[in-house]
Structure 1
Amino acid sequence: MNKFINEKLMPPMMKFLNTKAVTAIKNGMLYPIPFIIIGAIFLILANFPQQNVADWISQIGWAPIFNQAYAASFGIMALFAAFGIAYSWVKSEGYEGASAGLTSIIVMVMLQPSTISTVTKIADGSAVVGEYQVNGVIDAAWLGGKGMILAMLAGLLVGWSYSWFMKKDIRIKLPEQVPANVSDSFGALVPAFVITFVAMLIYALSVLTTDQTPIEWIYTLIQTPLQHATDGPLGVFLIAFLPVFIWWFGVHGATVIGGIMTTLLLANNADNLKLFQEGNLSLDHGAHIVTQAFMDQFITVTGSGMTFGFVIFMIYRARSVQMKTIGKLTLAPAFFNINEPVLFGMPIVLNPILAFPFLIAPLVSGFGTYAAIALGIIPPFNGIFVPWTTPPILSGLIVGGWQGAAWQALMIFVTGAIYWPFAKKYDAILVQQEKEAYEAEQAEQA
């Protein structure tokens, strides 16, 4: 079985995951993260969980100010993603990537509507009495979660085409005496112009033949179905099983799979966040179950494989010196969802005894949490982005209120219980190995 996995299954999988496109998405999606976190902080301030404090913030007029800061950071994450993906691709080819990233932003804006339709209603809102369009504007909704697939496509296509121009040396060349930054700026002129011109033709073809902009039909035909697919049992299985499966072979599965899935999970997050701001966060209003918070706070909490219960066993129940020592060293990192010391120090990687709980625990938590939200036991997650290093319970509280914190604690306990019988078995093996090593050492000294 191991031979089949190592020789037949893993090589094509790793070949795909190491392609330029996947690598660009994985690396490029890191660029929006700091600004998403910044926006999440302002969003928490605008919708403070303590009601009397929230009322006071609203009364003094700071709620819309905090929301403005949120909209200027979290709210335009698609632009950051488009820049980051194109930049990462071109940078990996050995060229200056900032111009490619900016070109990708141009393409993003080019392919969006430049008008917003609005309606006038009678006082009670029951009937429409007029409709008009506002021209020369950009709908902010397309710069956030609704624009994530276009951001990914624009970033990839711009990154590839810009690199092609550079490789073919199709650019304006200036004398060597010209400063490098000036030369790079003029060198970007030809590829940026051609890419922008092609994007304009795509926009024209779309609006003249379908009366819709490219981003609208991309959202309808591609992003919405993908978000719904991610938001079901298949999505739960993919984000719960594949990262730990890859991790078991020593490859950072969370980074590999998370880099690909983040685009859709953040889009789901943004949809939930909009509903949360409107006071309509429920499945009946279209809230998503599987979001970035679902993955970070309920599948990889305390680290890939949800190993916190295993760490507790190592500290308080293990008899082997190896387990006790590693357990004490890994407790503090586990509180911040870092468990590489356990994965490689124990090790869990390539360990057949610990493979079962390592692979099963995230699935139990993932499908359990999915069922809990679907059945109304806990509410959908509010879409507030929490850094993955946020300690458990606190992260559950932020994304799901007290119900989220309580359910997170329950999942940590349940997954910990899954580890214990296997940890006990492995501990017994280590005790025997340590005993044999000690006896051999004593025999040599005698």
Structure 2
Amino acid sequence: MVMTALRLVFPLVLVGTLADLVNRSWLESTGYYYQTLHVTSWLLRRTRLQQGVLLVQTGALGLAVLGVAFAVSYLLIARVTRQTSDRLMGGGLAVLALQFLNVNPATLRAGRPLDWTAMNLGLTGLALGIAIGLLIGNLYGWSVKRWSQPSDVVIRPLTLGTLGVLLTALLGVLWLMRAPLGSTTGLTAWLRGPLTGASGWGSLLGVSVLNGGLAWLGVLSPLPSTPQQAAMAAQNLATVLETNSWRLPHPLTGQTILQPYANMGGTGMTLGLLVAIFLVTHNATQRHIGWLSVLPVLGNFNAPLLVGLPVILSPILWLPFLLAPAACLSLSSLCLALHWVPASAYAFAVGTPGPLISYLGTGGALSALGLASINLVLSTAIYYPFVKWAAIAEQRVHEEAISDAKL
């Protein structure tokens, strides 16, 4: 049910992610293609184009979150009733509940328009959309089962819809009166703690697992950086520039090891997942989603792949999703400790192809490129049996659905 809902919003996530990739890697000054292709020298009206791209990005990803809430609730209610009016009413209530949670409480003042917290209607809000859909769908389905009057195409959805809107409005008012911050601000603040000064194999492993776990739950955004991380990166870069030595004061940080060696393709080392999908040749659906996701994954934007397969909430793919980056992180830390590869010190631009991050970050060290290639092979080997297993499981579910439809 959640898998079906995620695949329904996959086109929106794909379009929104591609727009995000274009904006951040081509139109922003920190982008890889902006810097390497000197975009400002040949692209006219860049600012106006960027505004249009941002509109596509925000609109598509925002609608994807609303859509997944609607679809999850709709599909849950479809299990208990065939009436389309009930399904549509339940989906509409899920969208309404999600909107109530995405108002900025700081703007609740007389005479001022309300501001929507748009970030909650982007990739960070996908988990919230799934949760709201599950909650509203189950509550509405429970009400349908206990409806004592004869089923009616108008009366029941009208009654349950009215009660649902009133209850949702009441809870929304209580939420906005009690919540001093947005619905994800507190969570983000809490997650900053483990990242403060993260240095060393153990702490980086914890960051990797936490980041992967949140992405598996549907929070498709990287964990926030901290001032301590920025300071360590600056000290590493100053050491290289001033002494021409790669004996960095902070050799194990997110920038030196985690990003260049264990996050190729995005959280979960998903470039290895993409290669594994193409190696498993007997599942056309997986390969189709893989081809559609090639460009964003190469730029380390993996949301389409995580939504389309889906990896989110997958009972099969969660283990390799956490294990692959952990294995790459461990191997890379060992190679760095043995001085087989230099630590990455140069900051990488947004959208840099995953395998090139370590090469460029070490000033062109071939050993770093070699280690990145080994990590890609290692992550592909970890993902391969699970991708094959997921393909077999999906095929069995499809066959059972066809058999049930014929009965």
Higher relative contact order (CA 8 A, sep 6+): 2
TM-score, normalised to structure 1, is 0.46
| TM-score (normalizing by structure 2) | 0.49
